[in-house]
């Protein structure tokens, strides 16, 4: 009886697993099959398409990379040769004086010290704020995206559309309301329970971090990716007794690694390059971030261009490193979100 019941299943699995084509060197009937592959005409068309693609993309890539290459070259030149015409791409006499002055390596004049040259605190502040915003925003974006993608409740789609509508509001419109809100946060910065009497989150890390812990674009990006995850995986986890947060943490997040990496790169880049918001709410020199600190080099009638360019190169390196580390996940996340969303 056992053999009779198992035989059809075995035969079925064998039939499904059997692949078409030759089974050996001589094929199913002892004859060698013809090699597979595109015809020669198709290969020539593909080669022409690749050549045309490279011819179009190469000048575009050079156009985007050239400014950064010149920035590196200018940071290694003496200040007298930076703006010569034609520009110098390979310095004749490279020097590290700009980096030494910026990083407080060697002697600094009183004017340079007053400008804040060599203050590593700028980069420490930027790293702390950017990493904190990236971690918090990635987590809360994923949590909100899971709710919109996999949880059913009345008005879900309407709320999601309204939430996406906030992406059309320019950041300058919400600048003053955000400033007033963080100024009147209760029990912070000398404020009472009514949010009055002090400065709230102004001139603090709280004011730099908290307004950026949620992003409508990040929620949209992750939600589009989570929609493609089969609901059967979540149902199986519920049958096993997993809570909703356990499903989110142990099932959804591991499957969304590419989209999470893409969201993290976008978030880190935006937080690291943010200039306007820190400029408005910060007044203490020990809390200044790198973009605001670099602006101190641009002063009326006197700008230390070699130090400014050296600092700009250093400020750009973290973004390049982060992108290179997560490049594979970033490209996969964007591609999969666009296909499956």
pLDDT tens, 237-280? 999 999 999 999 999 999 998 889 889 989 999 999 999 999 99
Looking at per-residue pLDDT, the higher value among 131 and 87 belongs to 131
Q: What's the rounded Cα separation, in Å, for the pair 237 and 38?
A: 45
Which pLDDT value is given to residue 22?
Answer: 45
Tens of pLDDT, residue by residue over 69-125, are: 999 998 898 888 888 888 888 888 888 888 887 777 555 556 555 555 556 788 899
Cα distances from 204 to residues 128, 129, 223, in angstroms, run 13, 11, 32
Predicted local confidence at residue 277, as pLDDT: 94
pLDDT mean over 312-338: 76
Q: pLDDT at position 114, please?
A: 54
Does residue 26 lie in a domain region? no
Q: With 80 as the cut, is the pLDDT of residue 185 above it?
A: yes
Average model confidence (pLDDT) across the chain: 81
User: What percent of the chain has pLDDT above 90?
Assistant: 38
Residues 255 and 133 in one domain: yes
State residue 154's pLDDT score.
92
What's the pTM value of the predicted model, to 2 decimals?
Answer: 0.76
Q: Looking at the structure, do residues 48 and 137 belong to the same domain, yes or no?
A: no
CA–CA dist 52, 64 (Å, integer): 19
Looking at the domain assignment, is residue 102 inside a domain? no
Instruction: Specify the pLDDT at position 282.
Output: 92
Q: 275 and 213, same structural domain?
A: yes
Domain identity same for 241 and 130 = yes
> What pLDDT is recorded for position 117?
53
**pLDDT at residue 340 in the model:** 47
Judge whether 36 lies within some domain: no
Asked if pLDDT for residue 307 goes beyond 70, the answer is yes
- Give the mean pLDDT of 17-23: 43
CA distances from 70 to 137, 242, 260, 275 (A): 34, 55, 33, 23
**pLDDT of residue 1 exceeding 70:** no
The pLDDT of residue 25: 47
**C-alpha–C-alpha distance, residues 157 and 164, integer Å:** 10
* Residue that terminates a domain, selected from 95, 110, 127: 95
> Does residue 222 share a domain with residue 87?
no
Q: Where are the beta strands (DSSP E) in the chain?
A: 298-299, 302-303
The count of domains in the chain is: 2
């Amino acid at each position: 009886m056992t053999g009779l019941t198992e035989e059809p299943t075995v035969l079925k699995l064998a039939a499904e697993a059997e692949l078409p084509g030759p089974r050996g060197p001589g094929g199913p009937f002892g004859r060698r099959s013809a090699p597979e592959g595109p015809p020669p005409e198709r290969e020539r068309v593909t080669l022409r398409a690749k050549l045309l693609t490279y011819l179009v993309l190469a000048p575009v890539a050079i156009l985007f990379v050239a400014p950064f290459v010149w920035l590196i070259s200018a940071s290694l030149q003496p200040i007298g040769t930076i703006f010569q015409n034609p520009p110098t791409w390979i310095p004749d006499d490279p020097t590290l004086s700009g980096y030494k002055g910026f990083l407080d390596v060697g002697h600094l004049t009183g004017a340079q010290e007053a400008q804040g040259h060599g203050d590593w605190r700028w980069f420490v502040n930027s790293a702390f704020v950017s990493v904190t915003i990236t971690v918090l925003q990635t987590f809360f974006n994923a949590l909100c995206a899971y709710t919109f993608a996999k949880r059913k409740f009345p008005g879900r789609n309407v709320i999601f559309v309204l939430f996406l509508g906030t992406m059309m509001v320019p950041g300058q419109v919400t600048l003053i309301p955000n400033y007033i809100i963080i100024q009147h946060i209760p029990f912070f910065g000398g404020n009472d329970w009514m949010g009055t009497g002090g400065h709230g989150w102004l001139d603090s890390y709280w004011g730099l971090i908290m307004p950026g812990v949620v992003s409508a674009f990040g929620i949209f990006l992750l939600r589009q990716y989570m929609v493609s995850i089969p609901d059967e995986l979540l149902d199986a986890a519920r049958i096993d007794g997993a809570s909703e947060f356990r499903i989110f943490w142990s099932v959804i997040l591991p499957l969304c690694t590419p989209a999470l990496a893409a969201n993290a790169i976008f978030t880190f880049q935006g937080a690291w390059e943010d200039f306007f918001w820190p400029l408005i709410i910060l007044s203490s020199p020990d809390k200044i971030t790198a973009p605001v600190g670099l602006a101190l080099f641009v002063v009326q009638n006197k700008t230390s261009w070699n130090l400014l360019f050296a600092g700009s190169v250093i400020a750009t390196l973290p973004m390049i490193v982060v992108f290179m580390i997560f490049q594979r996940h970033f490209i996969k996340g964007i591609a999969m979100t666009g296909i499956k969303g």
